[in-house]
Amino acid sequence: MTTSPYEHHDYDVLIIGAGGAGLRAAIEAKQRGLTVGIVTKSLLGKAHTVMAEGGMAAAMGNVSEEDNWMVHFRDTMRGGKFLNNYRMAELHAKESPERVWELEQWGALFDRTKDGKILQRDFGGHRYARLAHVGDRTGLELIRTLQQKVVSMGTDVFMECKVLKLVHDSDGRVAGCVAYWRPTGEIVTFSAKAVIIATGGVGKSWKFTSNSWEGTGDGHAMALWAGAKLIDMECIQFHPTGMVWPLSVRGLLVTEGVRGDGGVLRNSEGQRFMFNYVADMFRAETAESEEEGDRWYDDHAAGRRPPELLPRDEVARAINTEVKAGRGTPHGGVYLDIATRRSAEFIRRRLPSMYHQFMELAGVDITRESMEIGPTCHYIMGGVQVDADSAATSVPGLFAAGEAAGGLHGANRLGGNSLSDLVVFGRRAGMGAADYVESGQGARSFEMGEVEGAVREALAPFERTSGENPYDIQRDLQEMMQANVGIIRTGSELEEAKVKLEEFVERVKNIAVKGGRAYNPGWNLATDLPSMLTVSRCTALAASLRKESRGGHTREDFPKADPEFAKFNFALSSDGGNWDSPVSAAQSALLAMPDDLKALLEEAK
């Protein structure tokens, strides 16, 4: 069917990305008897999923018997400031327990309750102790379990292979992709009847980020170029607790589990300032005094939860405000203190990798001293617009799941809802793609013209004898996005960002790279920059249009939430389908929620 001049592979289902969502999708499609290929930019088992620490949210009710999917649904919607796709939130809350138990059949070893069930921990925004976990390395457990399962099924994995662009068939269905091998720089093409985007996030476009080099928004961008829509791209989660010192590790994540296990936030005056930042929406269920909050840790019936465990957007904004008011630490953060509140033995057992991380990288013993922390770019709620049940995008043959998909988390994600998202919607994407393939609708040709265009663009930096170093462009982009499209935004800065992003597009067209194609990080970065710019443009545009503050989008010039803006998502599309094509936005109405689910939210108010 295809005569590619390059190394070529053909699959029923091709999955781009080998984090939790991609691997879970692969298992599902493989179990349906289809041929499955996974393409990943890194080695298998290194995806950003390993960075997840605290746990995966699932209303199993092992610790709090009162917990059930309805409470989890309500918590997710409230945390997302009601911008969520309700159907995704419903499926997620209903299906995540099954997905956790399934991992145990594949070898995962979660921490246990005294009676041998999976232990669950408290986390911000979750009404009950809900996060299944393994100490503070739950993401590693998830990815290793899925990786071992995928390998045991004999799935083909293409490691260190970077996808440049999706390819269509002559009828406009997605038909595969064009990529290159990082070790050799050689081009490789993949044809497939269905393609699943599971490429994770976009955080590498910010200066202070918890994301690895891979978080360049490749999947977001290539889906947009291929004709799909992106929603909620203005909603970026700045995790409240990233390391702030030493500078070289600024942004590195400090798990929310520290607060779940008793850690509190203090300013330079020693005050537990979070009591001053409780929004009306959360007042009824938040402790009024330190004593009440402290009682809650021992017995959830004896008090209400402390304000340190409010959703992440609330906590991140509060920290930002304290630092701006001059009550920050010497390195521009606030203090996270667990040393004075829990025994050294407890801390080392519950938070081993945090203990290790601070000891080795900052020389700080968290069993004796406070940590200095501040917000860090962590996660994008926005992503490819999908059908909740099938993970299908608006482009036939294209599916998306995990951080690359939008909708589940609305304007703000609750901690612990990401790992469960990966397995719930990874599985659904695998099912959706398999149904599509089995129904015989899959692509029938492979447009080589699209391949050649992408290859030409990717190799152009080698042709230029003079031009810019891609690392300079990346650094400038990160600084600009941090300054203009950061945690607190304002109209004039966003307009400036939009103008500057157009200048960055021109700069990227003038990149020159040194050396050959084999394992050349400079060139690899040059091929990541088009995606970074595409997603940055989407974020800046949507942020300028959303003239209100909601979740992971805070406008200094519009500090309040506006109910009119709660009725729709901004859906972005590409006018032209190339990386440098303009991006436009339209309002996309939220799905209407059935009355029985509405009632769940009403009861909670």
Partner 1 sequence: MADVTMRIWRGDSSGGDFENYTLAQNEGEVVLDVIHRIQATEAPDLACRWNCKAGKCGSCAAEVNGKPRLMCMTRMEDLPEGPVTVTPMKTFPIIRDLVTDVSFNYAMAEKVPALLPPPMPEGGYRMFQEDVERGQEFRKCIECFMCQDVCHVIRDHEDNKQHYAGPRFFIRYAELEMHPLDQNDRRELVREEMGLGYCNITKCCTEVCPEHIHITDNAIIPLKERVVDANYDPVAWLGRKIRRRTKRTPAEAAVQPAP
The whole-angstrom separation of Cα 107 and Cα 144 is: 9
Of 48, 126, 168, 239, the catalytic one is 239
Residue with the two structure tokens 């699943």: 196
Of 140-159, which residues contact partner 1 (CB under 8 A)? 140-141, 144, 148-149, 151-154, 159
The enclosing H or E element of 499 equals helix 491-508
Which residue among the candidates 259, 409, 489, 546 is catalytic per the annotation? 259
Strand order in the sheet with 230-231: 383-384, 230-231, 568-574, 583-589
Instruction: Decide if residue 253 touches partner 1 (CB under 8 A).
Output: yes
> Considering only 209-217, 316-324, 550-558, 562-570, which stretch makes contact with partner 1 by CB under 8 A?
209-217
Contact between 376 and 87 under an 8 Å Cβ cutoff? The reply is no
Partnered with residue 337 across adjacent β-strands are: 264
User: Any contact of residue 419 with partner 1 (CB under 8 A)?
Assistant: no
Name which position in 42, 205, 241, 412 contacts partner 1 (CB under 8 A).
42
Size of the site for partner 1 (CB under 8 A): 71
Binding to partner 1 (CB under 8 A) within 87-116 occurs at 100-101, 104-107, 109-112, 115-116
By CB neighbour count within 10 A (0-12 exposed, 13-18 middle, 19+ buried), where does 112 fall? exposed
Would residue 259 show up in a list of annotated catalytic residues for this protein? yes
Instruction: Detail the DSSP E strand segments found in 395-461.
Output: 398-400
Contact 178, 453 (CB under 8 A): no
Give whichever of 58 and 535 is closer to partner 1, judged by the CB atom.
Answer: 58
Kindly identify the residues of this chain, within the stretch 167-206, that bind partner 1 according to CB under 8 A: 183
Q: How far is the CB of 593 from partner 1 (least distance, A)?
A: 30
Instruction: Give the E-state strand segments of 366-511 in sequence order.
Output: 371-380, 383-384, 398-400
Specify whether the CB–CB gap between 14 and 176 falls below 8 A: yes
Q: Give the nearest distance from C-beta 536 to partner 1 in angstroms.
A: 19
* Whether 317 is catalytic: no
Q: Which of 445/520 has CB closer to partner 1?
A: 520
Within positions 514 to 533, which residues make up the interface with partner 1, using CB under 8 A?
514-516, 518-523, 525
Contact pick of 192, 513, 538, 543 for partner 1 (by CB under 8 A): 513
Q: Which pair of structure tokens corresponds to residue 528?
A: 């990541």
Asked if 244 contacts 361 with a C-beta cutoff of 8 angstroms, the reply is: no
CB of 164 to partner 1, least distance (A): 19
- Does 464 bind partner 1 (CB under 8 A)? Our answer is no
- Beta-carbon contacts of 57 under 8 Å, excluding residues fewer than 6 positions away, are 72, 96, 123, 126, 130, 131, 414, 415, 416, 417, 419, 420
Decide whether 200 or 442 has the Cβ nearer to partner 1: 200
Asked if 19 contacts 143 with a C-beta cutoff of 8 angstroms, the reply is: yes
Residues 362-391, mask of contacts with partner 1 (x by CB under 8 A)? x-----------------------------
Mark 337-356 with x for binding to partner 1 (rule: CB under 8 A) and - for no binding: ----------------x--x
Within residues 55-74, the interface with partner 1 by CB under 8 A covers: 60
| Residue 416 Cβ vs partner 1, minimum distance, rounded to whole Å | 18
Enumerate the active-site residues. 239, 259
